[in-house]
Structure 1
């Protein structure tokens, strides 16, 4: 409701209807609570795992479309998951945190599994290409609540987001299968 950077143990305890001492006892404080929250349902690693489970075998003929489906699906899912967006904002603003470092490790491992499965290609640096696309998607989603527009993209309209999805298609179409 308030965003991760504007919430603390008192607000969480109040909202949950528990004494804040219980949060300290069971989670060791704010960072422990956040760690549990993330490990119970970290969006990006969950999304990657579910995508791989739905696509156990990738037909080389449709590998390009599978990449598009992955990236557009990531955009659509992350767009409607405000808690996941807030966690990403928190992580960006707390880079030295032990929890942030653990999230980076878990996310990188999760992304590597996806890369190994659907973004492999000897002719292109798929890891770098995917990193640029995923970080661009993430950045646009994180700035959208506070910016109406980025370049000529209307971040407040369905048409603007459809243009972004179309751009993902165009970029992936230029890559070698």
Structure 2
């Protein structure tokens, strides 16, 4: 009986965390609250206070368990053994293009990035930064270390560029002459990523 109760609690918590991501995707971080999440999850909001201690606790748990970039990095590490020098360039390309494609369809992750940019000093924003940097550290050490070049700085430029283009895309037809509303435009960006590592 205790085991059944624990499983039910775990499932309910997972449903609530999923609802956070869904509501963020639909409304953006600044327009999300406990009532909207409870309604989406189909639970009484009292459970959110009981399980997470309130809105900040819920969002903090969402960042820990449901943050897109950490999930993506863990999955990439799991699916790619340490590459030899010959395949390292292709692995870097695969990582960055995979990141672009995944982030492109993850509206909640885009909304979290927007929120973080507009709330740089908040406690939750700092939590997000710490979690992301720790996640990146493992990726950089495994795939982007190079004695001859500062691959970490290059990767920072590429990842931030990818992120910014994706954040601009919903409200902008073009950036320079790249059509952010077309597959052709995004293929140009992917081709440019290839060229960084395979000139």
Length-normalised TM-score, structure 1: 0.91
Alignment-derived partner of residue 76 in structure 2: 51
Deviation of 1:68 after TM superposition, in Å, equals: 0.4
User: Aligned partners of 2:171 and 2:53: how far apart in 1?
Assistant: 33
Question: Quick one: which of 31, 37, 62 aligns to 1:6?
Answer: 31
SS in 1 for 2:87: helix
How many Å separate the matches in 1 of 2:61 and 2:130? 16
Give the Å deviation of 1:163: 0.5
**Unpaired runs of at least 5, structure 1:** none
Match in the other structure for 1:73: 98
CA distance in 2, matches of 1:117, 1:169: 19
Q: How does 1:126-145 map to 2 (within 5 A)?
A: 126-145=151-170
RCO comparison, higher one (Cα < 8 Å, 6+): 1
Instruction: Tell me if 1:21 matches 2:46.
Output: yes
Aligned partners of 2:117, 2:139: CA distance in 1, in Å? 23
The answer to whether the 8 Å contact 2:64/2:131 transfers is no
Tell which deviates more after alignment, 7-16 or 163-172.
7-16
More displaced 10-residue stretch of structure 1: 52-61 or 73-82: 52-61
Distance 1:16 1:127 in 2: 40
Q: For 2:179 and 2:58, how far apart are their aligned partners in 1?
A: 36
Q: Map 1:1-177 to 2 at 5 A.
A: 1-174=26-199
Task: Tell me, in whole angstroms, the C-alpha distance in 2 between the residues paired with 1:53 and 1:156.
Answer: 32
Runs of 4+ in structure 1 deviating by more than 4 angstroms, as ranges, are none
Structure showing the higher helix proportion among its residues: 2
The number of equivalent residue pairs is: 174
State the Cα distance separating 1:27 from its structure 2 match. 1.6
Task: Give the greater-gyration-radius structure (CA).
Answer: 2
**1:58 CA drift (Å):** 0.5
Deviation of the 1:113 alpha carbon? 0.9
